[in-house]
Chain A
Amino acid sequence: MKKTIEFVGLTVLMLWTILSAAQLTQNPGQGYKPPRTADGHPDLNGTYDIATITPLVRQGPVQRVLTDEQAAKMEAQIMKERKDGDAQLSPDRPAPPKGNGDQDIPVRYRIASGNVGGYNSFWIDPGWKVNVVNGEKRSSIIVDPADGHLPAMTPEGMQRAASLRFLPRSDTRESSDPGLERAPGAYDDPERRPPSERCLLGFGSTSGPPALPVLYDNLHQIVQTPQAIMILTEMVHDVRTVRMNAQHLPKNIRPWLGDSVGHWEGDTLVVDTTNFNDKTRFYGSSENLHVVERFTRTGPKTLLYQFTMEDRATWTKPWSGEYTWPATDSHLYEYACHEGNYSMTDILKGAREREQTPAKAEDNK
């Protein structure tokens, strides 16, 4: 009986995964004859700049496909923010306001700028174009669920996500300092800090999987051989090695970016990733996250990137996204993160400083 239930459950799950993937563009690149490597497969070698202003999650009351006017409005808004950021200031300006450094920062960047205003727009390079897939200007990277939003989380997933960083536990006071994380002991040890601060991985799932656009340094390089395909992400020189036609590693081996194996389905490279560890959590996902990515050349300078995410312990159903990776002639530069990471010591010293100040000590709990 138990086996029957498991079998039925597994079948439902597989059907769900197939249905989720069905929302993705089918037979992409049809009619385009890509250049091929010596072994006859499409040549994916190259550098891609995946920056786009199309967000992962749909924003506002728009459909999956943007009208030309809607797309133009989004692009004009980015240009305006750029121009505002470049505007001349008074040489006699005072220091910025106490307690609120975010008032002149575009709303979309305020969470990252931590109430001190981050730094202004010249350092940020989130792209300036909406993403085009199959001739459609897209409003979100997520295409399934059809509303462009992540599916509901399971109660277990919500609890895990909350306990990671964002919410206080019942035995802690909520910090009154908007710049601080509320999780208890978040600053007690460098190993409690997130992988990006520790220079172990880039932030915001830049390397993935799934690989997603971030605020800057969005370059990715693919190097293709018959036995393995490497995907190098500029930040922080994260390397994914996709072993072709191979079996997954044993479950007790859990690399930072999971374990990726690949195969070709026609002219599409399909990459299957499992064996995540408990630190590289995508929006709080579990170690049992399963990602399937599909890479297809769709034109002389474009590659379509599609992915399906499945994690029964986190989301109530699988979900899928897709967006175009444009090839670029720009150079991907080394990103030697440890060498100048003053931030880590500043953050930990800042926490020690607060511990010495009784009035602020509550914020450290």
Chain B
Amino acid sequence: MASPPAAAHHAFGSEFDSNAPVLIKGKIAKIEWVNPHTWIHVETTKPDGTTEIWMFEGGSPNTLLRRGVNKMTFPAGTDVIIDGYQARDHSEKRANARNITFTDGRKIFLGSTGTGAPDPEKFPATAEPPK
């Protein structure tokens, strides 16, 4: 018998369109610190000079809280590059947060192991923005 499927809160493929990849450069406008998924709002400037807000879906904020990352860790205005796939309803400026990096390419959140109290030297939960 095949292994049972790995599960997640929802089926990613039914929410996001694998034929609509996006990469957005902009500034964090705000982070919605809500379950079941964190939503990171990024303001980006379009070629015509106007701005728009994209929302990126991340994982559960509870996981990050246990690693010492909280609402204040990344203030509005932090420059980021985020890639993912747009929601199947393309009228929504929403996508999954597949990779979130600073402008130099470093991941802003880092995956640590274990919940308890990971060694901050070995497993820092976040990187510092580039100077």
Contact = CB atoms under 8 A, between A and B. Distances in A.
Interface of A: 49, 51, 55-57, 59, 78-79, 82, 85-91, 93-101, 108-125, 127-129, 149-150, 152-153, 177-181, 187, 196-197, 199, 203-204, 214-219, 234-236, 283, 328-331, 333, 335-337, 339-344, 346-347, 349-354
B40 to A, nearest CB: 10
Interface in B7-30: 7-23
Interface in B72-91: 81, 83-85, 87-90
Q: Which of B11, B83, B104 has the most CB of A within 10 A?
A: B11
B34 to A, nearest CB: 3
Given A115-B18, A123-B58, A215 B98 contact: no
Contact of A96 (B84, B110, B117): B84
A119 B37 CA distance: 11
Contacts of A214: 7
Range class of the B interface residue count: 35 or more
Contacts of A329: 116-117
Taking chain A's interface residues, is the majority helix, strand, or loop, or is none over half, making it mixed?
loop
B47 interface: no
B21 A93 contact: no
A293 to B, nearest CB: 19
Contacts of A344: 10
Given A115-B13, A128-B114, A354-B88, A216 B21 contact: no
Contact of A123 (B7, B59, B84, B92): B59
Given A118-B12, A179-B12, A214-B7, A343 B19 contact: no
Q: Which of A100, A123, A283, A341 has the most CB of B within 10 A?
A: A123
Interface string B101-121: 101111101111111110000
A152 B85 CA distance: 39
A94 B59 contact: no
Contacts of A129: 114
